[in-house]
Structures are given as C-alpha cells and as structure tokens.
Amino acid sequence: MKILAIVSGEYGDRHVANIRAHGPADWALATWAPPKILPMVIDEPEEFLPSSLPESDLVLAFQEDARAAQLIADIAKLCRAKAVIAPVDREEWMPRGLVQQLAKWLSQAGVAAAFPKPLCSLTESAAAPRDGARQPSAEIAEFARVFGRPSFEISCDPQTRKIASVRVVRDAVCGCARHVAEKLVGAPADDAEQAAGLAHHHYPCMASMGIDPDFNDTLMHVSGNILKQEIGRALGPWKRVAYVEPDGKVGVGT
C-alpha cells in the first residue's frame, strides 16, 4: 500500500516514525509538509499545493493546523488517493464543521474517509463506504489492522499471577501501546490496568487536554481509558474484580 502523510510537526513526526519502524515491509510511506503560512480561508488550494504529489492509496492527515486541514480533499485528489484518515485528536486542528465539509467533499469525489476521535479509536470498520461502494474502505481497513485501537495478548505466571509477556496485536499509531506493553512485564495482573494508565500518561499522549463536548472529558483521558479497557480485555481470566457483600465483607472474583 502506498501512503502519503501530511506532517507539520512533532505530532505527525511521531506517527510517521512508528509506522516506518513497525509497519508492513510492503507499505511505502511518503510525507508532505504544508506551507507554514496559510490564510484563514483558502479559496484557491492550488496556490498552496505542489504541482504533483506521489500517487498514493491512502492519505494520513497529521497536520497541526485547521488551515492546512482545508487542503486535505485537494491533496487526496492530487495524489489519486482512494481513502483518507483524518484524526480528531485536537478540535483546533480539525474543527467539527470542517470534518463535515471534508466528509462531504471526499464522498463526492469517491474517496472513503475516517475521522477517528481520538486516533487510537480507529478500527477496521471505521469508514463508511465511498459513494457507490458496497464495502468499507479496504485501504483504511488494511491500515487499521496494524495501527489504531490498541489490542494485546497477555500471558501471566500461574504461580505469581504476574504478567509474563505482552504481545502487541495492534499498536496505536503513535506507538503508545508498544511503549505500555514494555512497561507491564512483571507487573501483578491486578495492577495492570492502573499501571497501563500511568505508562500511557508518561508516554505522553499528544491528544487534547481540553474538555471535549462529545465525551465531557479530555481526549487524552479518553485515549487512556481505551488503552486500559483493552489491557483489561486481554487479561481475561487473570482479571479479578473486588466486590462488597451486603454485610460489609470484601471479596474478590474473576
């Protein structure tokens, strides 16, 4: 798969570095940096785009500016992309009104699009089919099989109930899941979710710390909760839940 990433700073740089380090060998990843100075409203996109861009199957929109985000549909057209992933990790970079406009423009152009909020919520079924298609985007699904909502396989020592190994089935695009997995080996199974949350916080997550109206929470906390949920899911039978009985006794169940 041929991928073009729009990158304008540390946020995109981290994603690109992780994709290049851990993505499939047959992926070809190119990058393009938008101009640093852009008008608030872009009426003539061609004034700010190169004459050509590498032909690509998928565009990853990692720009850190809502003005640059206005160019996404034209970039997809210029590189003949079949699909776009434009994450909403900060609304100031990807305002909801612009998301609606981009979804409409891309759909009309026959380009599938996904706008995961946050990026680590991305799954293989995230994108609606492009106009006229019956199946979700194969390009987005292929990317999301490798990077998106974290997924793990965890084994524990049956004697000590400590984590013996953690395999990352699907990493977050930023690499956080792989970072957390390395920190969990040796941790007690009962403490793994809390330990994962701390490791996520110290990575650190680059999603917004402002309160998001869709979640009534910060996107950084939403991202951390997604990761902890997936660690809990992977623990399976090793996960114990404390409960309080009516007479005040505290018990532990699986």
Burial letters 90-125, b for 16+ CB under 10 A, else e: bbebbeeebbeebbebbbebebbbbbbbbbbbbbbe
| CA neighbor of 3 nearest in space, from 70, 75, 68, 67 | 75
Residues 170 and 134 placed together within one structural domain of the fold = no
- Average pLDDT over the chain reads 90
Question: One-letter amino acid identity for 82?
Answer: K
* Same structural domain, 140 and 44: yes
Q: Buried b vs exposed e over 184-206: b needs ≥16 C-beta within 10 Å?
A: beebebbebbebbbebbeebebb
pLDDT tens column, 127-144: 554 554 556 789 999 999
Total count of domains within the chain: 2
Separation between Cα atoms, residue 187 and residue 176, nearest integer Å = 18
The pLDDT of residue 241 is 64
Assess whether 82 and 162 both reside in one domain. no
Is residue 209 over pLDDT 90? yes
Kindly state whether residue 48 falls inside one of the protein's structural domains: yes
Q: What is the average pLDDT across 46-73?
A: 94
For 56-75, what is the mean pLDDT? 96
116 within some domain: yes
Q: Residue 250: pLDDT band by 50, 70, 90 thresholds?
A: very low
- List the domain range (segments joined by +) for residue 176: 151-241
Residue 203 domain-assigned (yes or no): yes
79 pLDDT above the threshold of 80: yes
Gap between the Cα atoms of 241 and 254, Å rounded: 6
The pLDDT value recorded for residue 53 is 95
For the cut 70, the answer to whether the pLDDT of residue 168 exceeds it is yes
- Spatial distance between the Cα atoms of 195 and 22, rounded to a whole number of angstroms: 24
**Cα separation, 196 vs 181, whole angstroms:** 8
Q: Is residue 250 part of a domain?
A: no
Annotate 7-41 with b (16+ C-beta within 10 A) or e (fewer): bbeebbebbbebbeeebeeebebebbebeeebeee
Domain co-membership, 123 together with 167: no
User: 10 Å Cβ neighbour count for 61?
Assistant: 25
Q: What is the pTM of this model?
A: 0.89
Residue range 89-110: average pLDDT?
93
Give the residue with greater pLDDT, 117 vs 244: 117
* DSSP SS3 for 110: coil
Query: 188: helix, coil or strand?
Result: strand
In a domain, 110, yes or no: yes
Query: 62-71, 121-130, 159-168, 206-215: which range is least confident on average?
Result: 121-130
Q: pLDDT over 90 for what percent of the chain? A: 78
Q: Return the biggest CA–CA distance within the chain.
A: 75
Instruction: Give 114-130 pLDDT, tens digit per residue.
Output: 999 999 999 987 655 45
Would you state the torsion angle of the CA atoms of residues 94, 95, 99, 105, taken in this order, to the nearest 10 degrees?
A: -90
pLDDT band at 246 (very low <50, low <70, confident <90, very high): low
| Percent of the chain predicted with pLDDT > 70 | 90
* pLDDT value at residue 247: 59
SS3 content of the chain, % helix, strand, coil (to 5): 40, 20, 40
Are residues 89 and 28 part of one domain? yes
- Residue 215: band (very low, low, confident or very high) from pLDDT cuts 50, 70, 90: very high
Taking residues 157-175, report their average pLDDT.
95
Q: 152-165: buried (b, 16+ CB within 10 Å) or exposed (e) per residue? A: bebebeeeeebbee
Are 75 and 137 within one domain? yes
Angle of helix 219-235 relative to helix 192-202, nearest 10 degrees, comes to 140
